[in-house]
């Protein structure tokens, strides 16, 4: 890089820094930056466009265009060349702007006399804030050095916008992190919660963007990178038994030793940026690329680089995770993503969780369900938008987050929560009553669990037992395989807490969205249909045998119920059942107590099992329909895919007819049958399932009250008649007909 360019760039950044330091209103600062940039770049025009809302850009300052157009000229995302830069996040560099496809002429600005156009995005850590433009009368392409210089100015603008340096008139110059924000995500766990934001990873604030001493900054960068390399090497040395963690850390080490990454940051410093600003500039570009990459592997690598940049920024600024702030009394955790172990460490202190990434079947979602706290995933930009201590309202039912809500939203949200609380009081009055419908049919409601902390809900919820105890959580939240003695002690405590009520222990259900951190991940194109659950157990029987022994020892002579997940054919059940027999034989030889009674069942989660030979239905001691998986396989609709999962209704005639067929087969062979899953905990769905013949439902504890309340008010024979009539009329879903019936009769 020519020395002259280095010094010119540093000179411009120095002047920008001086402008920032001046006591001036936000608009005056922005105007001066435009003048400085136009002068330095040798152009007649420099303009700043910032977003006033997600879809609209506003001209906020200009040197060279008509000043009366400021705060008046607006354009939609994608409109004109400025809108194209904003939409794509890519530079537009043209010698003849009016001839460019998509050019939009704005007569109020007086820009018709300018030919050349260079527009660069103003963005911070992947978040688009606006566009910085220079224009000149002379027809010319801007050089790579000029583009680079303008990108550096745009980066400074982004940082100063984040720090509130340009607060002024116009919607686009309102102070950031003060306006109400509505963020739409996906329901990970239902429920509502109000509280204050607690950021799992507080953002690093870079305040010194510009430096006059590149040598000092380069030395600081090298020292911080060396510290980073040492810490990654130390982490690698301690992670030898954890293949997944080793893979991530190897990627970290690769980036930490990347000459290209280091060279780019050194060039940024040479141009006049501080070490921190250089790191963040590269991080912002990595985030921007991340949003445009569809390849999963590349996205992961860019994610690794992003994480590494955060570590490096913490080294440079001294801003660790511990900010000195106290966890609020009503914390709602906000994070890009979080592991199950970290989430469990927070435990029941949390009111709710909001994740930028995650999925409805992720480890974090499983733990959130176990903790019975609302969870919203795919909440785009929440970590950029939220600050520690911000008021936040989480609507897990709708998958919506209200950040810094206005009074109207607060009032409506609190009304909704009050109605839910009132309903819970009503449910408490029927808690100890049997679930008998208005037509006299006895039903049985059980709860799902996965943690010891769930068990107190058994008495409080009115559940008759635990219809599903997920044993995989104890495997997911640790970095090594639990010991048999640890599992036996845990399962014994579960049985103690149940106080004689039936607990159905589902054996290890891993694979698909639940990969153990200490097991080598399998590169499967469609893991939900891959090597998971009982398939893993039968192929690697050591873990299953250990778990079965732990369950038998935990029972210590008491009744025991075991259920195998994801059985797709009779042979799989027969082989799994044989493992139980072997375990009993071994325990008998060792002189250990054998369970007083032992029930062995299976989860029906694949359509194939509904058509298994009659002999299977005669042999299995009970069946539980795993509604979440069965529905996704029945409709061939991935429940992790938002585009398709909402297209198919549980109350679809085809699905209810299929359930009716399973009920008929089980009645024919006298096989006890239950339904377990999210739909069992939704009152209308539960009513329809009961009307199709199901008599046992298992759900999260909080759902038992509302489900019982509706069931006790309804006649199953009448609802069944409504369903059959809707089917006769050729309706795709019976939902509308059933809701109309309930409006008149319940």
Q: Which residues are catalytic?
A: 363, 676
Nearest to residue 639, comparing CAs of 677, 604, 611? Answer: 677
Give me 24's structure tokens: 């001036």
User: Residue 654: which residues within 8 A CB-CB, separation 6 or more?
Assistant: 634
**Rounded CA separation 721/330 (Å):** 47
* Angle, CA of 616, 617 and 618, to the nearest 5°: 90
628, 678 contact by CB (below 8 A): yes
User: Rounded distance, CA 103 to CA 81, Å?
Assistant: 6
Q: How far apart are CA 340 and CA 370, in angstroms?
A: 11
Helix, strand, or coil here: 485? helix
- Residue 391 CA to residue 370 CA, distance in Å, equals 25
What residues does 63 pair with on adjacent strands? Answer: 46
Q: What is the DSSP string of 449-487?
A: E-SGGGTTHHHHHT-SSEEEEETTHHHHTSSSPPPHHHH
Q: Which two tokens stand for residue 712?
A: 């006790």
HSE (side-chain half, CA atoms, 13 Å) at 228: 28
* CA 15 from centre of chain: 42
DSSP letter at 653 equals: H
Q: Which residues contact 12 (CB under 8 A, 6 or more apart)?
A: 36, 37, 40, 149, 153, 272
Beta strand pairing call for 375-377 and 352-355: parallel
- Cα separation, 424 vs 709, whole angstroms: 10
């Amino acid at each position: 890089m020519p020395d002259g360019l280095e010094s010119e760039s540093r000179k411009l950044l120095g002047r920008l820094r001086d402008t920032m330091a001046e006591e001036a209103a936000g608009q005056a600062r922005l105007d001066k930056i435009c003048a400085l940039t136009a002068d330095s770049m040798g152009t007649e025009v420099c303009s700043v466009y910032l977003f006033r809302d997600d879809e609209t850009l506003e001209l906020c300052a200009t040197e060279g265009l008509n000043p009366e157009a400021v705060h008046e000229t607006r354009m939609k995302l994608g409109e004109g060349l400025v809108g194209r830069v904003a939409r794509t996040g890519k530079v537009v560099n043209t010698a003849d702007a009016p001839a460019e496809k998509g050019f939009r002429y704005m007569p109020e600005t007086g820009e018709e006399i300018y030919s050349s156009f260079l527009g660069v995005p103003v963005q911070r850590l992947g978040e688009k804030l606006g566009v910085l433009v220079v224009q000149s009368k002379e027809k010319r392409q801007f050089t790579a050095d000029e583009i680079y210089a303008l990108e550096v100015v745009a980066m400074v603008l982004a940082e100063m916008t984040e720090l509130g340096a340009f607060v002024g008139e116009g919607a686009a110059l309102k102070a950031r992190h003060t306006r109400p924000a509505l963020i739409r995500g996906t329901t990970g766990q239902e429920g509502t919660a109000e509280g204050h934001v607690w950021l799992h990873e507080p953002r690093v604030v870079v305040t010194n963007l510009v430096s006059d001493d590149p040598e000092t900054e380069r030395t600081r960068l090298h020292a911080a990178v060396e510290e980073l390399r040492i810490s990654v090497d130390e982490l690698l040395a301690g992670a030898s038994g954890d293949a997944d963690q080793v893979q991530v850390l190897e990627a970290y080490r690769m980036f930490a030793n990347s000459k290209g990454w280091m060279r780019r940051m050194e060039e940024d410093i040479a141009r006049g940026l501080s070490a921190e600003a250089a790191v963040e500039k590269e991080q912002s570009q990595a985030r921007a690329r991340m949003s445009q990459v569809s390849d999963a592997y590349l996205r992961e690598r860019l994610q690794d680089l992003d994480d590494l940049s955060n570590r490096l920024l913490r080294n440079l600024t001294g801003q660790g995770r511990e900010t000195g702030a106290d966890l609020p009394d009503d914390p709602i955790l906000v994070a890009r993503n979080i592991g199950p172990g970290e989430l469990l460490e927070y435990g029941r202190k949390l009111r709710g969780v909001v994740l930028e990434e995650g999925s409805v079947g992720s480890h974090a979602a499983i733990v959130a369900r176990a903790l019975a706290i609302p969870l919203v995933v795919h909440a785009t930009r929440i970590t950029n938008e939220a600050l520690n201590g911000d008021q936040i309202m989480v609507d897990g039912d709708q998958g919506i987050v209200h950040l810094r809500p206005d009074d109207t939203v607060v009032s409506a949200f609190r009304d909704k929560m009050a109605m839910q609380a009132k309903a819970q009081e009503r449910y408490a009055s029927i808690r100890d009553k049997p679930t008998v419908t208005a037509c006299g049919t006895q039903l049985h409601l059980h709860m799902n669990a996965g943690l010891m902390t769930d068990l107190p809900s058994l008495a409080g919820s009115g559940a008759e037992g635990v219809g599903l105890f997920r044993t995989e959580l104890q495997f997911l939240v640790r970095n090594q395989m639990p010991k048999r003695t640890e599992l036996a002690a845990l399962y014994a405590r579960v049985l103690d807490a149940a106080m004689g009520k039936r607990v159905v222990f589902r054996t290890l259900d891993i694979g698909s969205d639940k990969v153990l951190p200490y097991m080598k991940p399998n590169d499967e194109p469609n893991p939900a249909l891959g090597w998971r659950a009982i398939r893993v157990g039968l192929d690697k029987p050591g873990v299953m045998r250990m778990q079965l022994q732990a369950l038998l020892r935990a029972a210590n002579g008491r009744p025991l119920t075991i259920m195998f997940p994801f059985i797709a054919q009779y042979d799989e059940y027969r082989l799994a059942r044989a493992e139980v027999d072997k375990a009993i034989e071994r325990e008998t030889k060792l002189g250990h107590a054998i369970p007083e009674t032992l029930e062995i069942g299976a989860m029906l989660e694949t359509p194939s099992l509904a058509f298994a030979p009659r002999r299977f239905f005669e042999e299995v001691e009970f069946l539980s329909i795993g509604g979440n998986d069965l529905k996704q396989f029945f409709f061939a609709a991935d429940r992790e895919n938002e585009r398709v999962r909402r297209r198919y209704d549980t109350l679809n005639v085809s699905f209810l007819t299929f359930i009716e067929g399973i009920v008929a087969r089980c009645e024919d062979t006298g096989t006890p049958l239950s339904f377990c899953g999210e739909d069992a905990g939704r009152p209308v769905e539960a009513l329809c399932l009961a009307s199709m013949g199901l008599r046992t439902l298992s759900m999260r504890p909080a759902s038992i009250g509302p489900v019982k309340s509706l069931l006790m008010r309804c006649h199953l024979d009448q609802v069944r008649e409504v369903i059959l009539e809707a089917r006769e009329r050729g309706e795709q879903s019976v939902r509308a007909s059933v809701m109309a019936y309930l409006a008149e009769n319940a």
